[in-house]
Structure 1
Amino acid sequence: MIIMKDIIRDGHPTLRKVAEEVAMPPSEEDKKILKSLLEYVINSQDEEIAQKYGLRPGIGLAAPQINVSKRMIAVHVEDEKGKLYSYALFNPKIVSHSVEKSYLKNGEGCLSVDEPHPGLVPRYARVTVKGYNMNGEEVKIRLKGLPAIAFQHEIDHLNGILFYDRIDQKNPFGPIEDGIAIEF
């Protein structure tokens, strides 16, 4: 089981690397890593388990955050209607996106970033993501709202990008053109 001390922090070189593709079909080792990413996110949202193991709550985790520079992410989040998006993916890619933007009203956070970085993070309002599930089968997911933001945040990790890289440094709370504010 992944615990907080397994998650590397901002400043670690792995967080700034472009992660490598995972060979398909996935190895047993890669499947184990991917499964552990999803388990962490699910467990971190359970108050009792999170407290017992000292887990910081999260809605997503990428392999580079545990110092594994491979293209793997896990997301476990509900949309505004309560629909659960629980995915563990190898080699996820955004294959299409809206022109329209969205952002989290209170800004984003990250399990690898301890210090606050206030500001709005512009994201695409809608994305279509393709990747491979635990069995190596291709999956295509259409997302909007919070799930879309979570997937974009995690895919950024695979490209060595941290959320605060996207904040306008000159005007961190400046308006995001055509942006939809998302509550979280």
Structure 2
Amino acid sequence: MITMDDIVREGHPMLRTVTKEVPIPPAKEDQETLKEMLQFLKNSQDEEIAEKYNLRPGVGLAAPQLGLDKRMLAIHVDDIKGKLHSYALFNPKVVSHSVEGGYLSSGEGCLSVDREVPGIVPRHARVTVKAYDMDGNQVKLRLKGYPAIVIQHEIDHLNGVMFYDHINEDNPFQPPENAKPVDQE
């Protein structure tokens, strides 16, 4: 079981690494790791389990956050309509995105960052992502709103980018042009 002790924190070199693609079909070991990553997110959102194991609630987790040089991520999040978006993906890639931007008015957080980093993180309002599922089948996801922001945050991790790299240093709370807040539940 993955716990907070397994998650590397700011300053760890893996968080600044562009990770390597996972061979498809995925190895059993990679499938197991990815399954555990998704289970961590589910556990972290369950109040009883989270309290018992001292887990911070998370909606996304990327392999580099576990110190792994692999293009793997999991997200487990509800959209504004309450629809669950639960994915465990190998080699995800944004293949298209909206011109319109989106952001969380409250800013973003990260399981690898143990401090508040205030500011608006500009993202795309909608993205299309191609990836491989747990069994190595190619999938195409069209995401908008909060799930789109979460997957962009996690794909950034696979490219060695932290969310606060996007924040405008001179004016952290200035909304980006052609963007609107994406209200999360």
Which TM-score tier does this pair reach, normalised by the shorter chain? over 0.9
RMSD value over aligned CA atoms? 0.6
Question: How far is 1:175 from its partner?
Answer: 2.2
Q: Deviations over 1:27-77 (max 9, x none)?
A: 011001111110001110000010011110000000000001100000000
Q: Does 1:112 align with 2:103?
A: no
Question: How far is 1:137 from its partner?
Answer: 0.2
Question: How far is 1:115 from its partner?
Answer: 1.3
Q: Secondary structure at the match of 1:114?
A: coil
Alignment match, 2:31? 31
Q: In structure 2, what is the Cα distance between the partners aligned to 1:54 and 1:175?
A: 34
| Amino acid across the alignment from 1:95 | V
Q: How many residues align?
A: 184
Q: State which drifts further: 94-103 or 170-179.
A: 170-179
Q: Secondary structure at the match of 2:92?
A: strand
Question: How far is 1:98 from its partner?
Answer: 0.3
Alignment match, 2:173? 173
Please, what TM-score do these two structures have when normalized by structure 1?
0.99
Alignment match, 2:93? 93
Q: In structure 2, what is the Cα distance between the partners aligned to 1:30 and 1:108?
A: 28
Q: How does 1:22-171 map to 2 (within 5 A)?
A: 22-171=22-171
Alignment match, 2:20? 20
Question: How far is 1:183 from its partner?
Answer: 2.2
| Amino acid across the alignment from 2:75 | V
Q: In structure 2, what is the Cα distance between the partners aligned to 1:42 and 1:180?
A: 29
Q: Deviations over 1:135-161 (max 9, x none)?
A: 000010000000000000000000000
Q: Does 1:183 align with 2:158?
A: no
Question: How far is 1:110 from its partner?
Answer: 0.1
Alignment match, 1:3? 3
Q: Deviations over 1:152-171 (max 9, x none)?
A: 00000000000000000011
**Runs of 4+ off more than 3 Å:** none
Question: How far is 1:176 from its partner?
Answer: 1.2
| Amino acid across the alignment from 1:22 | V
Q: Secondary structure at the match of 2:86?
A: strand
Q: In structure 1, what is the Cα distance between the partners aligned to 2:79 and 2:116?
A: 25
Q: In structure 2, what is the Cα distance between the partners aligned to 1:175 and 1:32?
A: 40
| Amino acid across the alignment from 1:27 | A
Q: Percent identity over the alignment?
A: 64
- Unmatched runs of 5 consecutive residues or more in structure 1: none
Please, what TM-score do these two structures have when normalized by structure 2?
0.98
Question: How far is 1:79 from its partner?
Answer: 0.5
- Unmatched runs of 5 consecutive residues or more in structure 2: none
Q: In structure 2, what is the Cα distance between the partners aligned to 1:41 and 1:87?
A: 11
Q: In structure 2, what is the Cα distance between the partners aligned to 1:105 and 1:183?
A: 7
Q: In structure 1, what is the Cα distance between the partners aligned to 2:138 and 2:168?
A: 35
